[in-house]
Structure 1
């Protein structure tokens, strides 16, 4: 059931088997499996999943290559709804563990918002990350190309950049060191843009020169192109650099602040989990981009299936086998 302000009351005292934070590919996958396992689940989604602005999923098995991330999520929501799962558009602000029951505090509504609490036995966190994009005065100019031929994931879209003139938009020297030399597997025609945000060391300059990679430190005025296809950049000094594709690597924001009071084991910005997605808390599972691993839509969907299945196994074990009451022999 789609929850909203008018029907929230009937669920506020309900104890869910599982609450899933995040309605992206991983969260929807988990919810679908939970409902098929005849468990009660609620997905709380803040909106703007990372995959929602991917214009084409070229690497998702079985889907037409022009399938958008938004279309994938729409289909996932329809599937989840058909299985009678609860879904709420809201922002999770805090999670507390109170005597083996999670209390999830949620803000509902952007204007005249309402704060409510939901309760569950288990928690699946699938709230993901959002990539930092190049900070221009006109951000719409970035959105016109991001998700088309201006990419944020080399693993997802490196193939799309093969042997093309590629702009690498770096947020730090560490991102250059981590990404550029791997990006050259797909294309060596790389121009690195710092946008004047940081200094590049002499050692890194020498490395880039050794491989013939161009370094541009002058800030960017705007992207150039049409019909969502970026063809280059114009710098603040008026010069133009032609490009055929681009990769932004400026870091990301992890949507995990609501977990701060739970002291979960972390590695950098990611949650540490076992192979089934269980975190250092036995009843909290992390899936998708929040956990250590590969940031891929298809991986997140698999993570959701694994976490949901493990939770079902544990609840099933606690409850035990069901009896066929009509077939029991009457006492003699």
Structure 2
């Protein structure tokens, strides 16, 4: 991601209105930038440098990469692809966004920006379990965030799902297709209802509701229970929810659901004219392939609007 200020790749100053401002440089934002740049629009991506995809140690679920690809490598490729066709990629924070006559005004760490359209691809932040050296555990595949992405990689391994209630149950049931060794970990007996326990038991899923803490272990993770007993797992999945980065959408008055996800129509348009939302900030299957599709849909519609 380029970090220079001043003139863009196409030579126009940032003080001039962009056709599209994209907030967030994850797979969705960078794919939208590529499409829009190839449609010959002036596109600026402002990215804070914390895309969720950067946490991926290696994905074997991304179409077109049968040998797998790391999140940072994928982001680099997507960024170079968008830049090749003239999109401007800049590191920075977008502090505020306001809808005005003919477009949007953004206050950012790289200065004021005006744009005719805005794409929000600000994503989510996963709630992760407390664990020493958490970043290392994620990089090693010991702590995992998405069973849809990598359930295949834990076939027949000993897996723990940390969470409460139906969220943990649904994730555990999903993973039980890949391995018979699934345990749900909670900290209190109230974390799991009688019906949850029954549903887990019917599928051979073990429940432990006395988790005290997690600790790194050789080639895995140890769960220390409140009575001092220790259970070792090859990997731990977090089913603890997430924080949706929808504050900019809310500030402009865009509708969001009760969970905080931005509401969009079939073209990825928000309830605010000229604003689109793509990627994990929209409630859908949080997958790179889905982000690609949303970006293509939104970019194609915005192009028609810009050239009408």
Q: TM-score, normalised by structure 1?
A: 0.83
SS for the counterpart of 1:104 is strand
- Residues 144-159 of structure 1: pairs in structure 2 closer than 5 A: 144-147=136-139, 148-159=141-152
In structure 2, the gaps of 5 or more residues are none
**Structure 1, residues 272-304: CA drift from partner, whole Å, max 9, x if none?**
222321122231111111112111112212221
What's the CA shift for 1:308?
Answer: 1.2
What's the CA shift for 1:6?
Answer: 6.3
- Selected match of 1:107 from 102, 106, 109: 109
Structure 1 residue 167 corresponds to structure 2 residue 160: yes
- Selected match of 2:293 from 302, 307, 327: 302
Structure 1 residue 66 corresponds to structure 2 residue 68: yes
1:129 alignment counterpart: 124
Separation in 2, partners of 1:3, 1:70: 17
Q: How many residues align?
A: 303
Separation in 2, partners of 1:118, 1:197: 52
Structure 1 residue 263 corresponds to structure 2 residue 253: yes
1:212 alignment counterpart: 204
- Selected match of 1:272 from 243, 263, 267: 263
What's the CA shift for 1:307?
Answer: 1.2
What's the CA shift for 1:200?
Answer: 2.9
The 8 Å contact of residues 231 and 245 in structure 1, kept in 2 or not, is answered as yes
SS for the counterpart of 2:53 is helix
2:183 alignment counterpart: 191
What's the CA shift for 1:214?
Answer: 1.9
In structure 1, the gaps of 5 or more residues are 109-115, 318-332
2:215 alignment counterpart: 223
Separation in 2, partners of 1:194, 1:104: 43
The 8 Å contact of residues 6 and 14 in structure 2, kept in 1 or not, is answered as no
1:181 alignment counterpart: 173
Which of the pair has more CA radius of gyration? 1
Separation in 2, partners of 1:165, 1:211: 15
- Selected match of 2:58 from 56, 60, 75: 56
Separation in 2, partners of 1:64, 1:210: 35
**Structure 1, residues 186-221: CA drift from partner, whole Å, max 9, x if none?**
333211111459633334334334443222223343
Q: TM-score, normalised by structure 2?
A: 0.89
**Structure 1, residues 83-127: CA drift from partner, whole Å, max 9, x if none?**
23222211112211011310111135xxxxxxx320101011111
SS for the counterpart of 2:94 is strand
What's the CA shift for 1:24?
Answer: 0.6
Q: Which moved more, 1:41-50 or 1:184-193?
A: 184-193
Separation in 1, partners of 2:238, 2:223: 13
The 8 Å contact of residues 52 and 123 in structure 2, kept in 1 or not, is answered as yes
Separation in 2, partners of 1:233, 1:179: 18
Separation in 1, partners of 2:289, 2:202: 37
Separation in 2, partners of 1:274, 1:194: 37
Separation in 2, partners of 1:254, 1:85: 26
